[in-house]
Amino acid sequence: MSGYTRPALYRCHVCGETGGSTILATGAHILVRCPSCHIVGLWPRPSEAELTAAYAEGYWDAPAKIGRPGLAYRLRMSGVARRLASLAKGGARLLDMGSGDGAFLRLAESFGLDAWGIDRYAPAGAGSRQHEGDFTATGFESGYFQLVTMFHVLEHLPDPRAALAEAHRLLAVDGVLMIEVPNADSLVLALAGRRWQPLEIPTHLSFFSTDSLNRLVESVGTWELLSTSHFSWRASPAALVLTVLPGLQPKAVRRRNGGRYPVALAAMYLVLQILAIPAVAGTALLGRGCIIRMIFRKKQ
């Protein structure tokens, strides 16, 4: 491990507290749990140049598919879109913060939702209802949306509380916020350490537990917690398979094969994900799955 082992140097990017305990060393970085808000942060924090390089060409999956959700995506995410549509009271305008390639917008539209997106690193071709911009100043009027989603976004942000405060401002009273992030209490993280796929250093700056995420959300407004779960059809089986066999990562495979994903490898990846489901579901039931998905209703 390099010279970053003294947590006294650490200053929490969310609450400003110093000190904390190192929970994992990953080579060039360590992960430190803040003694006050318990959010785990990456240290040292990557520079702007490092982050820009990490999000540059190749961050988005298959460029040809941008904005067009494939069958696998639809199968895995339809339950989420259906749930959101059923939770929307008095309107169905949705903002996907961190909408990326826009796939969730298209899917939400097919469930009758009026879907908008915002992303700082939106790839070209993601659609006209997707704005490129900062989450802390989205430009929409207060209370404009009945639904706000943040799928694997908060862990990327230097200031996750500011984004949550904006989500609160944008939601109407009784509006619903759905958040999904990697789980700092994941059993696979405890077992696999730095090989855990959702670490994604250096782009993941924060890791949350159910408690620390709940407290952060509560710090920006008054909410009713509707549900907490630890399983995603889209993220969970893949996270376990890619922790054991990182070479199957679609982006890495495409890089090695001139942009193609050979059918045999794709089939093997799919079969392994299906085989992983019982183990992944078990960790989820223990509250130690790879992800946290929390749904809140704004009270005021």
Residues near Zn ion, by CB under 5 A:
12, 14-15, 17, 34, 36-37
The alpha carbon torsion through 256, 262, 265, 266 (nearest 10 deg) reads 120
Q: How far is CA 298 from the centre of its chain?
A: 21
In this structure, the number of other CB atoms found within 10 A of the CB of residue 110 comes to 12
If the CB atoms of residues 12 and 24 are measured against Zn ion, the closer one turns out to be 12
Instruction: Output the smallest distance, CB 209 to Zn ion, in A.
Output: 12
- Look-up of token digits 């730095």: 194
Tokens representing 189?
């993280």
132/218 with CB nearer Zn ion: 218
Which is nearer to Zn ion, 34 or 280 (by Cβ)? 34
Select 145 or 208, whichever has its Cβ closest to Zn ion: 208
Q: b vs e for 119-150, b when ≥16 Cβ sit within 10 Å of the residue's Cβ?
A: beebbeebbebbbeeebeebebeeebbbbbbb
To the nearest whole angstrom, how small is the minimum distance from the Cβ of residue 37 to Zn ion? 3
Q: What minimum distance in Å lies between the beta carbon of 204 and Zn ion? A: 16
3-state secondary structure of 292: strand
Closer residue to Zn ion in complex, CB, 15/268: 15
Quick one: CA torsion of 67, 69, 70, 75, rounded to 10 degrees? 170
Taking the least distance from each CB to Zn ion, the nearer of 17 and 61 is: 17
The residue assigned the tokens 């080579």 is 27
Which one, 216 or 239, has the nearer CB to Zn ion? 216
User: 8 and 19 in contact (C-beta within 8 Å)?
Assistant: yes
Minimum Å distance from CB 179 to Zn ion?
Answer: 18
Which residues does residue 40 pair with via DSSP β-bridges, in sequence order?
A: 33, 207
Do 210 and 185 meet the contact criterion of CB atoms below 8 Å apart? Answer: yes
Q: Quote the CA–CA distance of 91 and 278 in Å, as a whole number.
A: 37
Q: Minimum distance from CB of 128 to Zn ion (Å)?
A: 39
Residue 206 Cβ, how far from Zn ion at the closest point, in Å?
A: 10
Smallest gap from residue 15 Cβ to Zn ion (A): 3
What is the closest distance, in whole angstroms, from the C-beta atom of residue 165 to Zn ion in the complex?
Answer: 16
CB closer to Zn ion out of 5 and 18: 18
**Dihedral over alpha carbons 88, 89, 92, 95 (to 10 degrees):** -60
Cis (ω within 30 of 0) for the bond into 198? Answer: no
CA dist., res. 43 & res. 207, Å (int): 12
Residue 8: count of CB within 10 angstroms of its CB: 8
